Structure 1
Amino acid sequence: MNKKIITLAAVCFTFGLAGCANNDAMEQNVADLNSKIDSLSSQVESLSGEVGQLKASQEQSAADAQAAKEMAADAQAKASQANERVDNVVSSYKK
């Protein structure tokens, strides 16, 4: 019976030491993971900033394109008016 108790105590002691030995490795793994999480968080923040800049740039480009469209439509209308005037002048000479 004493042998069983001593053997059981030795096994418990061995498992206890094994558990303590793994704590340092586990803490190192947790520290590594926290470092990676911090790195990824900073990358996400950086990319979010870039996305915001690109969105603002895209909105400005869309506004510029709309302004160019309006200017082109205005120029086309003025050209049509000028053509009508020229046609009127030409038709007055034909009479």
Structure 2
Amino acid sequence: MYALQHEPRDQVAFDHGRHYPTRPPVHVHHNEDEVIHVIEGGYEFWLDGEVVPVAAGASIFLPRGVPHTFRVISPGPGRNLTTPDPRRAGGILR
């Protein structure tokens, strides 16, 4: 993941890749929603106990306050574009 310096009202997006089976720990964003668009590979998202598969070319909305994580489930690498709500993203990348 890339750390970015920005003003809270700026549009922020970051592109990063992952390999099966790595995943970030279950976490919660208290102040911002996220939209994750899968660019490459297949992902499986866990949102507060619900498992949601997301294929390349599809997106998923992650509302603030909901515990979540994800992992690549395809045999090759996965790549996604993460866009936090630009109005509330001030603390997400610090």
- TM category (shorter chain) comes to under 0.3
Considering fraction of residues, name the structure with more strand.
2
**Given the two structures, how large is their TM-score scaled by the length of structure 2?**
0.13
Structure 1 length as normaliser, TM-score? 0.13
Q: Larger relative contact order (C-alpha < 8 A, sep ≥ 6)?
A: 2
